[in-house]
Structure 1
């Protein structure tokens, strides 16, 4: 009885060894690799913290790029946006007022300068004429005085010449004072140009305040726009990670999407067989439902990894593998991430 049990156990061990050999490296059918269907998943999250108002999709739903997936309660953000919009309106009014004040100051100052310069020019011309008249009166007086000494002209003629000289001297002195006053008026008018510079600086300050207020409005509007969470791709919803009413934070996934047209099969190839794999090769891939696809290798790992049976006792050789990826067609949508796939690598005697 014991011998029969021993023979049965021995037979089972032999059969298991043969089965393992056939699965790992059959000489006729090829090497069969067990892999998985995989895809790039996109975790869609909110860009601001808030309470979810609604989640509009379910797992398995098909979505398009830009489609609204969820919304965050916008009430507080709407209030912020209204406040900053009001501040921007006030800042804009201040800019308009400062600009009007600057224009008025420029016009007033330039008009004052123009009038003062015109008055100065006129007064200087009068002074120049008065000085010429004075010079003539001086010559006339000297001549009359000589003639009076020679008793050629009367005392009255000399007195008249003297009076004319004194009148012209007084006129010149008065006009000289007027010229000084006119020059002071020009200087005063030009000093008002500093008021223009002050108005310019005030306008610039108000413009900066308006720009800051506008930036706050744009930021508030952007935050308000972030309350609408939209799909970045065309694809399917693989996971809904949050529900309406939950509070979410930035980078916290709300839904997870993937593109069913961009799936691939990944499998690990033992280092003893990686030389059989080349980019562009096509292999048959079988799936649990019994259907098959042709997969095209587009990725071949360059760094080895350890298989799950890595030897930790150091009594035998470690098992290393290289990952490969194959593109497969999924127009009929029969494939999904996580589905088991069996990749057959043909092997001939020369290999």
Structure 2
């Protein structure tokens, strides 16, 4: 802000302000002035013309004159000014503006050294990529576990059920139906063997008498040998059924059942991997959010290394040089908007009734004493 000095005011006055363009030290034509009742209200007058020179404006206080209904008040012109500072600590790399330069909104004014901030941003991006890779790995494992592990449990359960049935069968022995079936098989094999034996004897005799050929004799001999083998196999099968299962077979089946039960317990235990992986995935996703937030902060800090103009204006102060170390508490550049300014003046309280919002006024400045600027009352302080 550009501050001015108000002079020649009595104690019973009230402050009001005017927006003026291209001049300083303003005169305001208003109603006559009254007694000393203390500062109570502020009157703001908005201009119609843009201001280009930011200097102190004095509106000269005058005395009531005969045949005149106008009074003169002194006041100060205040332009919109912004004192700029970097939002982070750093060393100044360059300053691209000087005092008096006109700048546009968003224009670069100064920059900090960026190398360290770039490294921090690259590191943050690497952490984000690592977190994303970890999430992909955990998601793959979770999909695999939720598909395969329950299937493994079902397979193990089926294996245990089958082996348990086998052990029960071995321990209870063969069914009587199977034994009877085996006995019928032995009897059928015995009958077949007796028929084959009779044919063998008969064709051997016929061969010796020259009635049967050697080929016929050999065929009956082969049929006899085959029938004999089938008979022996049927007898052995019947013998096993009548004796029952061996203890070794039962023990072996029980051992397989125990192994299958252990495999089932392990398969069920592996189901915990699903819950563990879900927890790890949730943690990894939280870490990803944190790493993204850190990356965004690093990007923001990198952006903070560039100081830009917040609005169109004139550089009115430059307090830094390249190589200096600065912090957010140090204001390094001031920029002023001279397109619109406020002119604040004090009015005696008895005369406030003659001043209304929207009332037109005339303003003069020391810079251009022969030029009159038009304005209007914008606001009266409560």
Please say whether Structure 1 and Structure 2 have the same fold, judged by a TM-score greater than 0.5: yes
1:117 match: secondary structure: helix
In structure 1, C-alpha distance between the alignment counterparts of 2:174 and 2:293, rounded to whole Å: 72
Compute the displacement of 1:183 (Å): 4.1
In the alignment, is the contact (CA less than 8 A) between 1:137 and 1:164 conserved in 2?
no
In structure 1, C-alpha distance between the alignment counterparts of 2:372 and 2:81, rounded to whole Å: 24
Is 1:36 the counterpart of 2:76 in the alignment? yes
2:343 match: secondary structure: strand
Q: String of CA shifts for 1:290-343, please: whole Å, max 9, x gaps.
A: 2111111112122xxxxxxxxxxxxxxxxxxxxxxxxxxxxxxxxxxxxxxxxx
Is 1:226 the counterpart of 2:321 in the alignment? no
Is 1:286 the counterpart of 2:351 in the alignment? no
Compute the displacement of 1:55 (Å): 1.7
Relative to structure 1, the CA distance from residue 136 to residue 165 in structure 2 (aligned partners, 3 Å threshold; closer, same or farther) is farther
Compute the displacement of 1:102 (Å): 4.1
Structure 1 portions without partners, runs of 5+: 1-19, 142-159, 303-351
In the alignment, is the contact (CA less than 8 A) between 1:65 and 1:231 conserved in 2?
yes
1:23 match: secondary structure: coil
2:91 match: secondary structure: strand
2:291 equivalent among 204, 207, 213? 213
Counterpart residue number, 1:188: 266
In structure 2, C-alpha distance between the alignment counterparts of 1:164 and 1:278, rounded to whole Å: 127
Relative to structure 1, the CA distance from residue 126 to residue 24 in structure 2 (aligned partners, 3 Å threshold; closer, same or farther) is farther
2:293 match: secondary structure: helix
In the alignment, is the contact (CA less than 8 A) between 1:55 and 1:243 conserved in 2?
yes
1:197 match: secondary structure: helix
In the alignment, is the contact (CA less than 8 A) between 1:53 and 1:73 conserved in 2?
yes
Is 1:271 the counterpart of 2:310 in the alignment? no
1:272 match: secondary structure: helix
Q: What TM-score results when the alignment is normalised by the length of structure 2?
A: 0.58
Counterpart residue number, 1:242: 320
Q: String of CA shifts for 1:72-127, please: whole Å, max 9, x gaps.
A: 11122223233333344444444444444444444542342242133245446767
In structure 2, C-alpha distance between the alignment counterparts of 1:115 and 1:282, rounded to whole Å: 95
Q: String of CA shifts for 1:111-147, please: whole Å, max 9, x gaps.
A: 422421332454467678x49x969539999xxxxxx
Relative to structure 1, the CA distance from residue 26 to residue 54 in structure 2 (aligned partners, 3 Å threshold; closer, same or farther) is farther
Counterpart residue number, 1:110: 150
Q: What TM-score results when the alignment is normalised by the length of structure 1?
A: 0.62
1:23 equivalent among 62, 67, 70? 62
In structure 2, C-alpha distance between the alignment counterparts of 1:171 and 1:247, rounded to whole Å: 89
Compute the displacement of 1:267 (Å): 0.9
Using CA pairs under 8 Å that are at least 6 residues apart, name the structure with larger relative contact order, 1 or 2: 2
In the alignment, is the contact (CA less than 8 A) between 1:60 and 1:236 conserved in 2?
yes
Compute the displacement of 1:32 (Å): 0.8
- Larger-gyration structure (1/2): 2
In structure 2, C-alpha distance between the alignment counterparts of 1:284 and 1:32, rounded to whole Å: 10
Q: String of CA shifts for 1:15-61, please: whole Å, max 9, x gaps.
A: xxxxx999133351411111222122122211011222222222232
In structure 1, C-alpha distance between the alignment counterparts of 2:262 and 2:326, rounded to whole Å: 72
Relative to structure 1, the CA distance from residue 181 to residue 36 in structure 2 (aligned partners, 3 Å threshold; closer, same or farther) is same
More displaced 10-residue stretch of structure 1: 115-124 or 226-235: 115-124
Any residues of structure 2 matched to 1:277-316 within 5 Å, and which? Answer: 277-288=355-366, 289=368, 290-302=370-382
Relative to structure 1, the CA distance from residue 139 to residue 110 in structure 2 (aligned partners, 3 Å threshold; closer, same or farther) is closer
Q: CA RMSD in A?
A: 3.9
Aligned residues: 267
Any residues of structure 2 matched to 1:1-351 within 5 Å, and which? Answer: 23-27=62-66, 28-123=68-163, 130=169, 137=176, 163-164=241-242, 166-167=244-245, 181-288=259-366, 289=368, 290-302=370-382
Counterpart residue number, 2:183: none
Structure 2 portions without partners, runs of 5+: 1-32, 35-60, 181-237
Compute the displacement of 1:264 (Å): 2.2
In the alignment, is the contact (CA less than 8 A) between 1:77 and 1:220 conserved in 2?
yes
Relative to structure 1, the CA distance from residue 137 to residue 181 in structure 2 (aligned partners, 3 Å threshold; closer, same or farther) is farther
In the alignment, is the contact (CA less than 8 A) between 2:313 and 2:337 conserved in 1?
yes
